[in-house]
């Protein structure tokens, strides 16, 4: 789709300087702008690119004054970065504005489907499924029996949603997400053979949750594994049975959370963090990348290391970690000197 500078300025409530009728059909970085693209400038570090970019339209802050003549059309707004973010959202909505049911696909006759559904080819919707309005389900998605999906959800290609899972409104599941697979529950018998413990709970995803590609969230043994509203999960995260993650917590890639752990609200968890089961992590906690968390964490703590310790304690200790070979050599020398002094007595 093409948009003119006038149309864009109306959306952003901006002021045009240049050709009001110039058209754009793509978005770009300012240093990579080509004819027909739209970009933005908010960081002064990138000011020189304004005079060389080939982008047709550049969004700038209202107080920006060019140092020399520019060839591109400028749209001045109160906050260029925020304005460009608004356009990215609109662009994404247009790009994803698919509707209709592609063939081949399967919808059980007992399923309840809302309005404006998009269902991609080779997708499967099981018995007694309930799907809200404006939901987009991309190709090769499996949705098991008794699943509930709220309005405006987007489920990308190849995702698998096992039976009984509940997904709220405005959620996004990226490619390959698996919700509701069995938790890792096994118990050894007297001969040491591990027998499977039935996993009969479910997964509950509340509203406005984003789940990254190939992330796996296991169903509860009993009850529910719960991801509270506003949570943002990166790619390749493993969340085990009966875990609960509080509102607006964000977790980076390759983190693993063992069963029955409770994580509070507004936490920030870095990549490759390992968290043991059956512990509690408070609200507003920050966990640095590659931590190994094996204890309860109180509200507002910042931790680092493996096993994890307080952030400031880790930094103080790290000064000595780096000097261990030197410190060992000093200790060995001191031991020799002490032995020598004792021998003289």
Is residue 205 within 8 Å of residue 167, measured between CB atoms?
yes
d(Cα 219, Cα 212) in Å, to the nearest integer?
A: 18
**Considering only CA atoms, which of 256, 250, 335 is closest in space to residue 293?**
256
Looking from the CA of 62 toward its CB, the CA atoms found within 13 Å total 10
Q: Under DSSP, is residue 42 helix (H, G, I), strand (E, B) or coil?
A: coil
Q: Can you tell me the distance from the alpha carbon of 276 to that of 160, in angstroms, rounded to the nearest whole number?
A: 26
Q: Using the 8-state DSSP alphabet, how is residue 221 labeled?
A: S
Q: Are 269 and 292 a contacting pair, CB within 8 Å?
A: no
Cβ proximity of 171 and 191 under 8 Å: no
Terminal Cα distance for the chain, rounded: 93
Q: Cα–Cα distance between 250 and 269 in angstroms, integer?
A: 6
Q: What residues have CB less than 8 Å from 127, skipping those under 6 apart?
A: 108, 110, 111, 145, 146
Instruction: Give the integer Cα–Cα distance in Å for 57 and 77.
Output: 13
What single-letter DSSP state applies at residue 110?
T
Active site residue 241: yes
Distance CA 248, CA 253 (A): 16
Instruction: Look at residue 340 and give its three-state secondary structure.
Output: helix
Q: Which residues pair with 124 in a beta bridge?
A: 106, 142
Residue length of the chain: 345
Choice among 116, 156, 174, 241 that is catalytic: 241
- What is the DSSP pairing of strand 73-77 with strand 15-17? antiparallel
- Residue 65: other Cβ atoms inside 10 A: 5
Active site members:
241
């Amino acid at each position: 789709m093409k948009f003119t500078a006038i149309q864009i300025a109306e959306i952003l409530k901006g002021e045009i300087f240049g050709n009001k009728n110039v058209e754009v059909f793509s978005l770009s970085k300012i240093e990579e702008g080509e004819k027909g693209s739209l970009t933005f400038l908010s960081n002064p570090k990138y000011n020189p690119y304004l005079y060389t970019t080939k982008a047709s339209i550049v969004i700038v802050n209202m107080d920006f004054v060019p140092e020399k003549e520019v060839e591109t059309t400028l749209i001045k707004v109160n906050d260029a970065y925020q304005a460009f973010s608004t356009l990215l959202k609109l662009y994404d909505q247009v790009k994803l504005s698919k509707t209709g049911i592609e063939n081949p696909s399967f919808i059980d006759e007992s399923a309840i489907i809302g309005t404006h559904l998009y269902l991609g080819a080779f997708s499967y919707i099981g018995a007694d499924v309930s799907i809200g309005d404006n939901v987009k389900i991309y190709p090769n998605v499996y949705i098991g029996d008794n699943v509930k999906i709220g309005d405006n959800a987007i489920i990308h290609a190849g995702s698998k949603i096992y039976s009984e899972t509940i997904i709220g409104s405005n959620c996004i599941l990226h490619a390959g997400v698996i919700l509701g697979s069995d938790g890792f529950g096994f118990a050894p018998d007297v001969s040491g053979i591990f027998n499977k413990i039935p996993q009969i709970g479910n997964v509950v995803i509340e509203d406005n949750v984003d789940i990254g590609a190939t992330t796996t969230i296991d169903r509860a043994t009993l009850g529910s594994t719960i991801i509270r509203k506003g949570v943002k999960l990166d790619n390749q995260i493993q969340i085990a049975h009966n875990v609960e993650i509080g509102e607006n917590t964000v977790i980076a890639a390759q983190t693993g959370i063992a069963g029955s752990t409770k994580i509070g609200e507004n936490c920030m968890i870095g990549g490759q963090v390992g968290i043991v089961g059956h512990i509690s992590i408070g609200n507003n906690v920050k966990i640095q990348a590659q931590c190994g968390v094996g204890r309860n964490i109180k509200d507002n703590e910042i931790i680092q290391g493996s096993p994890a310790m307080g952030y400031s304690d880790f930094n103080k200790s790290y000064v000595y970690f780096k000097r261990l070979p030197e410190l060992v050599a000093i200790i060995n020398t001191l031991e020799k000197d002490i032995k020598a002094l004792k021998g003289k007595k």
